[in-house]
């Protein structure tokens, strides 16, 4: 995850990219009973899920408020989404001493999306020399998605030419009913550093 931002006067441009390659696997055993009486049926399942995605935002912005300790930028641009989900499974079992045929399979779903976005971002400084600050970001959009929005807020400290920041970020997609993936959301904490030159 990273961001690049350049500004001259009140006008600026930013780009932000998030890449994820995550997965999980689960193994479980299930037995059956009716009315407390054990039925000689059991099944074992192994399931693996992998998700790979790239989310890329491009936006231009105008600094509407630029005071000491307080900034507000109005932005407009586009966000690109490329995601692929893969799942495979293997189910084995038996009825008493009679094995049943194994069941294996795999499925995947992928999509590519472009959405137009508008939003605001900035910071609110406080404390001595306004070195402490609260960064904030919010955008909404639509296009290939029915609706998408992203928000982030946190706490930072400015050390002159560089800053340390910790934020919580949330990104949501509501996708059309014809898409293989209906909706998605990503959220979590992030820490980072901003360097100015």
User: Which pLDDT tens digits describe the chain residue by residue (197 residues)?
Assistant: 889 999 999 999 999 999 999 888 888 776 666 666 666 667 788 889 999 999 999 999 999 999 988 999 999 999 999 999 999 988 887 766 666 676 788 888 899 999 999 999 999 999 888 999 999 999 999 999 999 999 999 999 999 889 999 999 999 999 998 888 888 998 999 999 988 87
Cα–Cα dist 33/113, whole Å? 47
Say what the pTM is.
Answer: 0.80
Contact by Cβ (8 Å): 27, 48: no
Q: Indicate the DSSP class of residue 100.
A: P
């Amino acid at each position: 995850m990273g961001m690049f931002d350049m500004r001259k006067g009140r006008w600026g441009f930013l780009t932000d990219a998030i890449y994820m390659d995550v997965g999980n696997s689960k193994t479980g055993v299930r037995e059956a009973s009716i009315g407390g009486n054990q039925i000689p049926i059991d099944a074992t399942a192994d399931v693996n899920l992998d998700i790979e995605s790239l989310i890329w935002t491009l936006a231009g912005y105008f600094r509407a408020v630029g005071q000491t300790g307080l900034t507000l930028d109005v932005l407009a641009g586009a966000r690109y989404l490329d995601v692929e989900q893969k799942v495979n499974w293997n189910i084995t079992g038996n009825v008493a001493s009679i094995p049943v045929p194994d069941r294996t399979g795999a499925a995947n779903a992928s999509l590519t999306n472009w959405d137009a976005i508008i939003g605001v971002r900035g910071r609110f400084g406080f404390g001595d020399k306004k070195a402490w600050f609260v960064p904030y970001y919010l955008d909404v959009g639509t296009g290939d998605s029915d609706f998408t929005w992203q928000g982030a807020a946190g706490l930072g400290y400015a050390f002159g030419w560089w800053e340390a920041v910790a934020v919580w970020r949330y990104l949501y997609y509501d996708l059309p009913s014809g898409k293989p993936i209906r909706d998605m959301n990503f959220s979590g904490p992030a820490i980072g550093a901003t360097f100015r030159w």
